[in-house]
Amino acid sequence: MLDKASATLDVATVMRDLGRRARLAARALANAPSATKDAALRHAAAALRGSAAAILAANARDVADAQARGVKGAFLDRLRLDPARLEAVAVALEEVAALADPVGRVLAAWERPNGLKFERVATPLGVVGVIFESRPNVTADAGALCLKAGNAAILRCGSESLRTSLAIAEALRVGLAEAGLPEDAIQLVPTADRAAVGAMLAGLDGQLDVIVPRGGKSLVARVQDEARVPVFAHLEGVCHVFVHAAADLEMARAIVLNAKLRRTGVCGSAETLLVDRACAATHLKPLVTALLDAGCAVRGDAATQAVDPRVTPAAEDDWRAEYLDAIIAVRVVDGLDAAIAHVETYGSHHTDSIVTADDGAAARFLAEVDSAIVLHNASTQFADGGEFGFGAEIGIATGRMHARGPVGVEQLTAFKYRVHGAGQIRP
């Protein structure tokens, strides 16, 4: 795949062919029985285990190449597979197989006075494009979620993981074939040529129905800016915890520490703490001290700086910052309205939480904050498909179209209307 012959391939032609094959596969998948799709996923898990040696060898070459180019740290770690990680990928396939089939669900059903019976029924979306960066396991995770929802997948991995991703994709295709499904249901873009991404963003001549970018901010921004097809993505998670006047201090402390520090690199980690001026005298110092003592840097407004000399001044940019690190911005606000206004002004419509014993204040925060996920008395780190009970997610979306919040298999479906009559004609 990486030899000279492929380098001379016309990328536009390759991508057009991928799109055409994906559409044909999607038609077959759309009506595949649940048991067949699930069998393909289990066969794919077996094929992954069976070809573990080849996949790990491909990965070793990818890792060696990356190291030779000076790649290190977290990026290299995300690229690297080992037997335990590969087994986790196989188990994830089996977990997706065990989920309920989202296709065919009757979402609504009603009858009209003329006797016509209407049903809104979940259908696949069609062809899903996934553009991701270093983690080769996304090949299996994203491919499996698309398959479960009856969609064909076109996967574009980062160039560093191309050998590994191709080896994983091959196992998926073995699984599809063993179940009698078209191998083209899951296709990996076989070239590292960046023109392939451009072709996907242009929609592959109408064959691509949606794109899901999985990666850093620059990838997501490019996809959101340039894609001519719908995108399920979030650019960033500038998530807030608002400690309201009626917040229990112990609950607030536990939630703030967890929301910020459980894992700082996830999109649902809190980046800004807002404290109601009405409880600042009692709550601000304990919260700030707890954060500082836990190793978190605090950038605060004047009121926050006053409670501890370790607090550094927050600049305007800090209110918009997605640190993804042990850093938090802290601001004292004048009550619920000011907190909502701050979140609407600086937030990213991802995930925001209020801590309060006042149900009325909570109801207003949950109604008026226009974010995909709004929580009352819970950590923002619950922003995760698994925590929602979705089983697995392909990402979190902050747009308002079609999918919002965790994108699991149900969010990868569309719907149609089935109408049952007995000869009705329209007057």
Q: Do 218 and 327 contact (CB within 8 A), yes or no?
A: no
**Phi/psi at 360 (5° precision):** -65, -40
SS3 366: helix
Query: Which of 4, 68, 74, 110 contacts its own copies by CB under 8 A?
Result: 110
Residue 107 DSSP class: E
Q: Is residue 236 part of the contact set for its own copies (CB under 8 A)?
A: no
Question: Can residue 37 be called a binding residue for its own copies (CB under 8 A)?
Answer: no
Task: Compute the least distance from the CB of residue 345 to its own copies, in Å.
Answer: 11
Extract the tokens encoding 222.
């490019």
When asked if residue 344 is in the footprint of its own copies (CB under 8 A), the reply is yes
Give the nearest distance from C-beta 299 to its own copies in angstroms. Answer: 23
Q: Based on CB atoms, which residue is closest to its own copies, 51 or 379?
A: 379
Q: Which two tokens stand for residue 413?
A: 């479906």
**Rg from Cα positions in the chain:** 24
Q: What is the total count of residues that contact its own copies (CB under 8 A)? A: 61
Q: Are 259 and 328 in contact (CB under 8 A)?
A: no
Judging by DSSP bridges, how do beta strands 106-111 and 117-124 pair with one another?
antiparallel
Kindly tell me which residue out of 59, 123, 272, 304 binds its own copies, with binding defined by CB under 8 A: 123
Binder to its own copies among 95, 230, 289, 358 (CB under 8 A)? 230
Which CB, 83 or 206, lies closer to its own copies?
206
Helix, strand, or coil here: 164?
Answer: helix
**51 vs 269 by CB, closer to its own copies:** 269
Q: Binders of its own copies among 394-413, rule CB under 8 A? A: 400-402, 404-405
Supply the minimum distance, in Å, between the C-beta of residue 120 and its own copies: 8
Q: Which stretch binds its own copies (CB under 8 A): 121-129, 190-198, 301-309, 313-321?
A: 121-129
Q: How far is CA 163 from CA 56, 109, 135, 166, 190, in A?
A: 10, 48, 12, 5, 9
By the rule CB under 8 A, 210 interacts with its own copies:
yes
- Sign of the alpha-carbon torsion through 98, 101, 106, 107: positive
Whole-angstrom Cα distance, residue 38 to residue 98? 7
- Contact flag: residue 125 with its own copies (CB under 8 A): yes
* Contact call for residues 264 and 326 (beta carbons, < 8 A): yes
Q: Which is nearer to its own copies, 47 or 125 (CB)?
A: 125
Total count of residues recorded for the chain: 427
Cβ closest to its own copies, residue 11 vs residue 147: 147
Given candidates 38, 133, 184, 209, which one binds its own copies under the rule CB under 8 A?
209
Site for its own copies in 259-288 (CB under 8 A): 259, 262
**Contact between residue 355 and residue 377 where contact means Cβ atoms under 8 Å apart:** yes
Select the span of 153-161, 181-189, 212-220, 257-265 touching its own copies (CB under 8 A). 257-265
Q: Under the criterion CB under 8 A, does residue 221 sit at the interface with its own copies?
A: no
Cβ(26)–Cβ(126) below 8 Å: yes
- Which backbone phi and psi does 265 adopt, to 5 degrees? -95, 0
75 vs 415 by CB, closer to its own copies: 415
52 binds its own copies (CB under 8 A): no
How far is 252 from 261, CA to CA, in rounded Å?
A: 14
Amino acid at 246: A
* 97 touching its own copies, by CB under 8 A: no
Angle between helices 335-346 and 359-368 (to 10 degrees): 20
- Of 219 and 251, nearer to its own copies (C-beta) is 251
- In the complex, the residues that contact its own copies under the rule CB under 8 A are 27, 30-31, 110, 112, 116, 118, 123, 125-126, 209-210, 228, 230, 248, 251, 254-255, 257-259, 262, 344, 362, 366-368, 370-379, 381-382, 384, 387-389, 400-402, 404-405, 414-426
